[in-house]
Chain A
Amino acid sequence: MTDTTGGLGSVLSPVAGGGIPETLLEEAAYEAHRLAATTLPDDVKRAFVGMRDREQEELPKRVLEAIVDNFHAAEDDQRPVCADVGVPRIYAVIGNETAIAGGFVSFERAVRRATGRITSDLALRSNRCHPITRRNPGNNVGVFAPNIEYRVEPDADYIEICAVHKGGAFGTDFRMLVDGDGLPGIRKAVLDAIAEFGRRGLTCPPVVIGVGLGGTKDQSFSIAKQAAQLRPIGDRHPDPDVAALEDELLEMANSLGIGAMGYVGTAGYATDVHVEIAYTHSALTPMGVHQLCQATRRGVVRVHMDGRTETRPTPSWFSDYSRRMGVE
């Protein structure tokens, strides 16, 4: 964790009184976007290097070598890892003790400004356009864009900004399971999603597979995306039943003989499977599957009330509090 503000902290010491200023939030959101676009997280890099070394088939080995060369090139040149920035989005963890000088409107303005600036500075593709007219303002900002999801963390005095960039089209799917489908139904839905998108490499494997189980239909999809995008490779859910399912699904995904780019390979299709659950209707299990491509892009910056800014290796989106169970 490094201080990226170069001593701004002391200059901004009065923040404690008035809250975090908008300029500091804008710089933090900008830095989160920059990291997401250009720098793969360390856990992801380690996973690809390991796969490259293990792969025994020539074609996928060649692909993994190129993937490793590419993330070095992106970081060295400060180029986007992937040309498809997707629809850049923000996940924000808000400490319950945090105050913002201009309130939350100021935070949201900071995020929109940072998104427009980074699009121009790094020459990101401007994907965000009107869904009917296709009018494109050219800055990845528009109606509901970038989308910001919030969650609250108790006893914390920071805002943590996580930018996620994920290319479009392939890899996500939904299934409404009924009470009689049980665990085999969950396995089958994951297998369906891999059969649909993993063959021919449409998901850009190696992937992280996020599975969202339960809640409402829309919620199952949201937590599937969060599971894939906001947890580090190797992480296991604290609920042992969920963790066991994660292991089982990872084993299945890697038993199919698919390697990088969908070619026949030995080193595996997925770097990990993350499952998130939400309590759901007693008759149904809505289920989302989100397969996150090898350009696994997230950037995390935390801004504290005393003006300190730190980049972090992984977001703290999931916590004991966010997965709490009881009434209080």
Chain B
Amino acid sequence: MTTHRLSIPLQEDDVRQLRISDVVYLDGTVHTGRALVYEHVLQGQNQPLLDLANESNVQMHGAPAGVEDAPGEYRLSSIQATASFRYWKYVPDYVERFGIRAIIGKGGMDKWVYEDVFAKTGTVFLTTVGYGIAALYGRAVKRVIDVHWKEELGLPEAMWVLDVENFGPFIVDGDCTGASLAAEHVDSVNKNFAREYAKLPEYVLKRIGEIDHSLANEVIVGKPAGDGD
């Protein structure tokens, strides 16, 4: 569990040295993006308005708490990340095309993304801590440099380009060896769930108007068939 302070743009060596559970703080330019940004860029064929690989090769899955006080004048109060694994359709392509070295998010990505994509591209997944320490992260944002595509995507979903200083702490959830911290911890607690489930009978009926669950099903969907080979 080593602590690192790194400058953006991140170099390949910077990220290949990181291991799961290391702590990272960042300086430089970070940009945000959620589903609408990915669709705008990857499906809508809109080129990012800055050179991501050389200026901002760290993307955060987050929509900040922020307002536009006057045209082009933004005030950001807090920021954190949203659940990242739901962007599995977009992340591999985006990371490869734009030379992204780190994704900042929540909950990690499914392990195959780290193994099949990040190990090759030299990218890590940095998880936000506690998933709700947005005031601390907000403090580290020195300036909103710009907000791209706010008319098309709306202010929260637009691409915010942020100047950050000592932005963190983040924990390495996925490293370039393909390891996944969250997956390790899920494996560790599964035996405790199995112990509790063993004490309980099955429901009388399978389902009546609700979603059925079992320990085998995580919210994340798993590797799509025939992909990534």
Residues of A at under 8 Å CB distance from B? 58-59, 62-64, 66-67, 69-71, 73-74, 77, 79-85, 119-120, 122-127, 129, 134-136, 138, 167, 169-170, 173-178, 180-181, 184-185, 187-188, 191-192, 194-197, 199-202, 204, 217, 252, 255-258, 260-264, 293-295
Contact = CB atoms under 8 A, between A and B. Distances in A.
Interface in B124-174: 129-139, 154-156, 169, 171
Nearest to A71: B135
Contacts of B75: 123
Contacts of A127: 156
Given A83-B65, A188-B200, A202-B107, A195 B133 contact: no
Contacts of A262: 182, 185-186, 189
A199 B106 CA distance: 13
Given A176-B209, A264-B189, 10 more contacts: A67-B130, A80-B78, A81-B78, A82-B132, A124-B65, A136-B154, A200-B108, A252-B196, A256-B192, A258-B189
Contacts of B23: 62
Contacts of A85: 65
B94 interface: no
A241 B156 CA distance: 45
8 contacts: A62-B171, A67-B132, A77-B138, A83-B62, A122-B65, A192-B213, A200-B185, A294-B132
Given A83-B63, A181-B204, A59 B21 contact: yes
B67 interface: yes
B192 A77 contact: no
Contacts of B156: 125-127, 136
Interface of B: 1, 21, 23, 62-67, 75-80, 82-83, 106-108, 129-139, 154-156, 169, 171, 182, 185-186, 188-190, 192-193, 196-197, 200-201, 203-205, 207-211, 213-215, 217-220
Contacts of A191: 193, 196-197, 200
Contact of B80 (A69, A82, A136): A82
Most buried by B among A124, A125, A126: A125
Given A70-B136, A199-B218, A134 B189 contact: no
Given A125-B156, A170-B219, A176-B210, A261 B131 contact: yes
By secondary structure, the B interface counts as: loop
A264 B129 CA distance: 15
B82 A84 contact: yes
A195 B213 contact: yes
Nearest to A206: B130
Nearest to A258: B189
Contact of A81 (B135, B197, B215, B218): B135
Contacts of A173: 210-211, 213
Contacts of A71: 135
Contact of A74 (B135, B204, B215): B135
Contacts of B215: 195
Contacts of B133: 66-67, 69-70
Contacts of B185: 199-200, 262-264
Nearest to B215: A195
B200 A169 contact: no
A224 B12 CA distance: 48
A175 B186 CA distance: 24
Nearest to A76: B135
B155 A126 contact: yes
A167 B67 CA distance: 18
Contact of B134 (A81, A192, A217): A81
A216 B114 CA distance: 45
A125 B64 contact: yes
B131 A293 contact: yes
Nearest to B182: A200
B139 A77 contact: yes
Contacts of B203: 175, 177, 181, 185, 188
Contact of A200 (B77, B171, B186): B186
Nearest to A176: B208
Contacts of B131: 201, 204, 261, 293-294
A268 to B, nearest CB: 13
Contacts of A256: 189, 192-193, 196
Contacts of B79: 83
Contact of B65 (A80, A169, A257, A261): A80
Contacts of A59: 21, 171
Contacts of A195: 193, 213-215
A124 B65 CA distance: 5
